[in-house]
């Protein structure tokens, strides 16, 4: 309905801006006859690509692909059967040119659904009965070309209430010539006398949360081992420990895969059937931190890279992780500046900012054009529902209405 979408139990709206590109608004899930809000607005906030070669020709390569170039203005017109498959609905993006005129990018956003394997399954060896359901997901995607890189931003909405963001990176690697017989230190030899530079991509996603309303809080969950003692005589015990963040300074965090770390957004004023606060958790995928020295210009200008999680109270002027003018600022703008006051983030309208880092040490297989690489994160319900929300998905109609081996 225009830019509004209803699919399965999902409700959302499609948006698009010149700087951010694709934005998802008013995301909610219909549960027991009521659309329950989850994320008010989700979008790419900014991104930067720091290169690791210190030579005079390459040390300046630290492009802000959203804040400087405008990743939305560089969106592709997507093509049926190439960028998207299946039953497709396209959305055009309308924006301005340098003189204020209207520019339309046809088919800037692709909407389709696709099969995603098994949704749930169980085989009962006592009765020989098997129940299995197929999973489908809604895909909302946009692809932009920035110089030598294509960036695909894919938002997936699953039937079980999961939201996933996946970045797909396609590239013709940035190269430089080297003398015959020389092994490059800050890159990889990909062809005779040609090396591709080591570099990173950092994306920051702004998630204006609204988990069953605006009064939300954030905690960090780590799994810890129980010390040997009366409560753990056999040495096997471990448990998940939650720590509540009260201020935005406390909520500047990095990932820790060895503790199973994730971050949970809860609404303390709304409980499920078990009396637990309804929640959604942010689950990191592969990630990394920058290798640039703290004194480097790029660290000052893109301070958001130094933390994977930032949390702020909602402020309509705080839209981008690098501030409004990253190409005209000496450093310190954006998230470091927003959070300096240490504002309260308990039981309030809050915003999660998640930094996603992709580390690219080029390979010969990346030449002359690289296979697509993937990175991303997930938002998953935790006690948001009283039980599995997809028990009502009907079986696939195969072999007289049942799935058989």
Beta bridge partner(s), residue 191: 194
Name which of 20, 339, 389 is nearest 205 in CA terms. 20
The whole-angstrom separation of Cα 78 and Cα 144 is 10
Beta bridge partner(s), residue 280: 265, 381
DSSP state of 365: G
The whole-angstrom separation of Cα 310 and Cα 204 is 10
Quick count: other Cβ atoms within 10 Å of Cβ 352?
Answer: 24
Q: Which single residue is written with the structure tokens 């950092």?
A: 202
Residues 6+ apart with CB under 8 A from 131: 120, 121, 122, 395
Say if residues 268 and 347 touch (Cβ distance below 8 Å): yes
Catalytic residue set: 65, 149
Using alpha carbons, list the distances in angstroms from residue 61 to 53, 56, 74: 9, 10, 19
Instruction: Judge if the upstream peptide bond of residue 368 is cis by omega within 30 degrees of 0.
Output: yes
End-to-end CA distance of the chain: 40
Say if residues 149 and 135 touch (Cβ distance below 8 Å): no
Name which of 270, 347, 351 is nearest 34 in CA terms. 270
**Helix runs in 229-320, H state only:** 297-301
The whole-angstrom separation of Cα 31 and Cα 9 is 8
**Helix runs in 253-397, H state only:** 297-301, 335-338
Say if residues 394 and 387 touch (Cβ distance below 8 Å): no
Q: Which single residue is written with the structure tokens 């503790």?
A: 259
Beta bridge partner(s), residue 310: 353
């Amino acid at each position: 309905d225009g830019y509004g979408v209803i699919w399965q139990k999902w409700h959302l709206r499609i948006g698009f801006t010149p700087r951010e590109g694709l934005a998802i608004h008013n995301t909610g899930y219909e549960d027991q006859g009521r659309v329950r809000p989850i994320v008010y607005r989700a979008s790419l906030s900014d991104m930067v690509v720091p290169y690791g070669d210190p030579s005079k020709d390459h040390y300046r390569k630290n492009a802000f692909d959203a804040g400087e170039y405008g990743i939305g203005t560089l969106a592709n017109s997507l093509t049926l059967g190439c960028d998207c498959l299946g039953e497709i609905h396209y959305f055009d993006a309308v924006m301005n040119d340098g003189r204020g005129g209207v520019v339309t990018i046809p088919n800037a956003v692709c909407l389709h659904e696709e099969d995603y394997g098994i949704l749930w399954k169980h085989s009962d060896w006592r009765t020989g009965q098997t129940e299995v359901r197929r999973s489908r997901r809604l895909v909302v995607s946009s692809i932009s070309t920035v110089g030598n890189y294509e960036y695909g931003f894919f938002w997936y909405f699953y039937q079980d209430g999961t939201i996933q963001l996946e970045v797909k990176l396609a590239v013709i690697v940035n190269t430089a010539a080297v003398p015959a017989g020389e092994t490059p230190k800050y890159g990889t030899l990909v062809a005779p006398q040609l090396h591709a530079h080591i570099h990173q991509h950092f994306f920051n996603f702004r998630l204006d949360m609204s988990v069953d309303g605006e009064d939300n809080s954030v905690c960090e969950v780590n799994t810890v081992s129980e010390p040997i003692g009366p409560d753990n005589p056999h040495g096997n015990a471990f448990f998940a420990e939650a720590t509540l963040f009260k201020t935005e300074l406390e909520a500047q965090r990095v990932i820790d895969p060895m503790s199973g770390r994730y971050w949970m957004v809860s609404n303390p004023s709304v409980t499920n059937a078990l009396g637990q606060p309804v929640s959604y958790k942010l689950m990191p995928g592969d990630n990394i931190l920058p290798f640039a020295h703290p004194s480097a210009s790029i660290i000052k200008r893109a301070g958001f890279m130094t933390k994977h999680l930032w949390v702020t109270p909602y402020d309509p002027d705080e839209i981008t992780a690098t501030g409004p003018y990253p190409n005209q600022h000496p450093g310190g703008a954006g998230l470091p500046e927003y959070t300096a006051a240490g504002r309260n983030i308990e039981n309030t309208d809050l915003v999660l900012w998640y930094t996603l880092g992709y580390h690219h040490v080029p390979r010969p297989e990346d030449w002359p054009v690289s296979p697509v690489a993937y990175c991303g994160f997930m938002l998953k319900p935790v006690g948001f529902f009283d039980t599995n929300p997809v028990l009502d998905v009907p079986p696939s109609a195969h072999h007289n209405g049942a799935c058989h081996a």
